[in-house]
Amino acid sequence: MVDQDGQAFRRGKFRTGVWLPALKRAGITESTREDGMHALRHLYASVLLDAGESIKALSAYLGHSDPGFTLRVYTHLLPTSHERTRKAVDAFFDGLAA
């Protein structure tokens, strides 16, 4: 992310200029670890994995040496995961019936 002048956002600048105002607009008055900056790392990991990125690449992007750690700690099921799984199972059984 860059600011209006094309300068890269530093963590502190992003937090005070973007993140905290967004929390305020959302009605979240006290930022905790669950809704803080660290939550963005978890969201980033989950979104990339859901989009098909390899766990090895994702682990490298996050600066982890162990992809297993990334998988255990940083990835979470997204709402679309359940529907995609259901469709895959349906397609499998539809293929058996054909």
Q: What domain range includes position 20?
A: 1-31
Determine the pLDDT at residue 19.
Answer: 80
Could you tell me if 47 and 10 lie in one domain?
no
18/39 same-domain check: no
Q: Is the pTM of this model over 0.85?
A: no
| 61/89 same-domain check | yes
One domain, residues 61 and 84: yes
Contact 13, 3 (CB under 8 A): yes
pLDDT at 69 over 90: yes
Q: Which comes out higher in pLDDT, residue 78 or 43?
A: 43
Q: Which residues of 49-65 are buried (b: 16+ CB within 10 A; e: fewer)?
A: bbeeeebeebbeebebe
What would the pLDDT profile of 83-93 be if each residue is shown by its tens digit?
Answer: 888 898 999 99
Counting every residue written for the chain, the total comes to 98
The answer on 22 and 49 residing in a single domain is: no
Q: Per-residue pLDDT averaged across 36-58, rounded?
A: 88
pLDDT, average across residues 31-56:
83
